[in-house]
Structure 1
Amino acid sequence: MITAFVLIRAKGDRIAALGELIAELPQVAEVYSVTGPFDLVALLRLKDIEELDEVVTQGILGLPGVERTETLLAFRAYPRKLLDQGFSLGEG
């Protein structure tokens, strides 16, 4: 299984609609709106690199309003406890 993060820059008036469309793709586990140079981040779970190519180049990049993507591949996931602490925002 391959885990990938796709950073997506979108036209401002299309961000919410794109988030919903991208979330409907079967390989997309989660989609977040974010701050910074990109507008959305999609978390993908894929069986192989060919599927990654299809989802990004034929799926996400083909949606109206997507201006640019950048794809990051995950090498390793760390213990859940550490991941949960990262999102706690100051809670003990």
Structure 2
Amino acid sequence: MITAIVLVHTDADRIPETAQEIADLDGVAEVYSCAGDVDLIAIVKVKEHEQLADVIAGKLSKVEGVQHTDTHIAFRSYSSADTEAAFAVGD
């Protein structure tokens, strides 16, 4: 599974609507509204690199209210929650 963290700058008056529209897209696992330099952070999870372009450039960036995005591709996860979930199969 390929994970991309997408920093999303949006129109300030459409943050909730834009976040929900992004969350509803296939390939988007989670969307967070946050304080700081960006308005939203979207976690995109796909099986193949080619799908990143379909989800991010093809759909996410075209959602009404999205001004621009900055995408970071994850190489490895160090989350203890992910490790625990992997060993909890069958519990």
Bucket of the pairwise TM-score, normalised by the shorter protein = 0.7 to 0.9
- Structure 2: which 5+ runs fail to align? 82-91
Aligned to 2:85: none
One-letter amino acid matched to 2:20? E
Question: Which digits, 9 at most, give the CA deviation of each residue in 1:65-89, with x for residues without a partner?
Answer: 10010001111111415xxxxxxxx
Mapping of 1:49-88 within 5 angstroms?
Answer: 49-80=49-80
Q: CA deviation at 1:58?
A: 1.1
Question: Which digits, 9 at most, give the CA deviation of each residue in 1:22-58, with x for residues without a partner?
Answer: 1111211110001111100001111111100011111
Aligned to 1:43: 43
For 1:65 and 1:79, locate their aligned partners in 2 and report how far apart those are by CA, in whole Å: 31
Query: Is the Cα contact below 8 Å between 2:3 and 2:74 reproduced in 1?
Result: yes
TM-score by length of 2: 0.84
TM-score by length of 1: 0.83
- Identity level (%): 42
- Structure 1: which 5+ runs fail to align? 82-92
Aligned to 1:87: none
Aligned to 2:89: none
Q: CA deviation at 1:13?
A: 0.7
Aligned length: 81
**SS at the partner of 2:58?**
helix
Moved over 3 A (4+): none
Query: Is the Cα contact below 8 Å between 2:10 and 2:67 reproduced in 1?
Result: yes
